Amino acid sequence: MKASRRSNTVVVIPCFRVSAKILDVLSNIPSDVSKIIVIDDKCPEKTGQIVKKSKFGKKVTVITNATNLGVGGAMKIGYIEAMRTKPDVVIKVDGDGQMNPKDIPKFISAIMEKEYDYAKGNRFFSVENLSQMPLVRKIGNLALSFMSKLSTGYYEIFDPNNGFTAISGPCLSQIPLNKINDRYFFESDMLFQLNLLGAKVLDVSLPAIYNGENSSLRIGHSLVIFPKNHLRNLVKRIIYTYYLRDFNIASIQLFLGSILLSWGTYFGVYTWLHSMSNNVATAPGTIVLVAILIIVGLQLLLSFLSFDMRSQKRE
């Protein structure tokens, strides 16, 4: 699959402990890619030096970080360097061999032909391909995907931490890179910023490739750190979208629903504890009032959620 016209496509590869795989990754990148930027994130295996000694020519630029910045920090360096060439498409490919560079044309097509602003891989389209993915990663990705839907507003997007991505040059120029996380929350933070811009995002079906590589991303650690970051982004997105940039019926539903549900829950628990401690029955009217507060609050919040899901900018 090729784009309708030759695009100025730049591939950025952040590298850390990938010396055994990097040359194979580079050799499989399609020839119509305009430029390849390899970011050696102070790799102890000196991956950058290995690339420099290879015979890939001037198309490949190697940047070596003085300190380890993390995958997000390395990608920011790569994005800044890529933007110097005024690219049509900038594609992120990891150097560990878990992404097939031959799928790059799918991402170019998503940006150049389908006119999406951002495209990302999704390993969950094919159930058969998922047999290679370890069970703990399946469970972790399901949990992280659910949290990402809420915090980013992209409810139709799955596998948010998939690092195989593409972004259009014009869209990238509007992203405040200084606000993006330097570590493994990088991809989720990108989706959050893309939503604030109203960018169109597409999932690209990819197979799950696992050949014994050891990822430095730990699902257990992520399930502790990521929820805090997702909650922060959710709050920020709600405030920006529904109270600063606009104020509509969904804003009222969220406000009233939160108050009614919170008050109903508090009042119900307080009344129940008071009745238990005094060994007296709760008045039927009080029970009905608590039930109404909780039910109406939940209904308003569900209505808000429905509105939020429908408000996504999609073709």
**How many helices, marked H, and strands, marked E, lie in the chain?**
10, 7
**Residue 44: per-residue pLDDT:** 96
pLDDT tens-digit readout, 58-86? 899 999 999 999 999 999 999 999 999 99
**Residue 19: per-residue pLDDT:** 94
- Strand bridging mode 118-122 / 165-168: antiparallel
Q: Out of 242, 270, 286, pick the residue that ends a domain.
A: 242
Q: Which two tokens stand for residue 233?
A: 């982004």
Q: What residues pair up with 205 in beta bridges, in sequence order?
A: 122
Cβ–Cβ under 8 Å, residues 190 and 75:
no
The total number of structural domains that make up the chain: 2
> Are residues 148 and 38 part of one domain?
yes
> Are residues 205 and 254 part of one domain?
no
Read off the amino acid at residue 186: F
DSSP 282: P
> Are residues 134 and 263 part of one domain?
no
> Are residues 148 and 203 part of one domain?
yes
pLDDT tens-digit readout, 164-213? 999 999 999 999 999 999 998 999 999 999 999 999 999 999 886 766 55
Q: Out of 242, 268, 284, pick the residue that ends a domain.
A: 242
Kindly list the strands in the beta sheet with 60-64, ordered across the sheet, starting from the edge strand earlier in the chain: 60-64, 35-40, 9-15, 89-92, 165-168, 118-122, 201-205
Average pLDDT over residues 103-120: 96
> Are residues 299 and 207 part of one domain?
no
> Are residues 211 and 64 part of one domain?
yes
Which residue from 265, 315, 313 is spatially nearest to 289, judged by alpha carbons?
Answer: 265
For residue 169, being part of any structural domain is answered with yes
Q: Out of 207, 223, 242, pick the residue that ends a domain.
A: 242
> Are residues 296 and 233 part of one domain?
no
> Are residues 164 and 64 part of one domain?
yes
> Are residues 124 and 91 part of one domain?
yes
**Residue 315: per-residue pLDDT:** 43
Confidence class of residue 161 from pLDDT cuts 50, 70 and 90?
confident
**Residue 211: per-residue pLDDT:** 62
Cβ–Cβ under 8 Å, residues 105 and 31:
no
Residues 74, 14: Cα–Cα separation, whole Å: 6
Average pLDDT over residues 290-307: 97
**Nearby residues of 280 by Cβ (< 8 Å), 6 or more positions away:** none
Helix (H, G, I), strand (E, B), or coil: what is residue 231? Answer: helix
Domain that residue 267 falls in = 247-310
For residue 214, being part of any structural domain is answered with yes
**Residue 171: per-residue pLDDT:** 98
> Are residues 303 and 198 part of one domain?
no
Confidence class of residue 124 from pLDDT cuts 50, 70 and 90?
confident
10 Å Cβ neighbour count for 133? Answer: 15
- Strand bridging mode 118-122 / 201-205: parallel
For residue 2, being part of any structural domain is answered with no
For residue 206, being part of any structural domain is answered with yes
10 Å Cβ neighbour count for 3? Answer: 18
Read off the amino acid at residue 313: K
> Are residues 172 and 50 part of one domain?
yes
For residue 207, being part of any structural domain is answered with yes
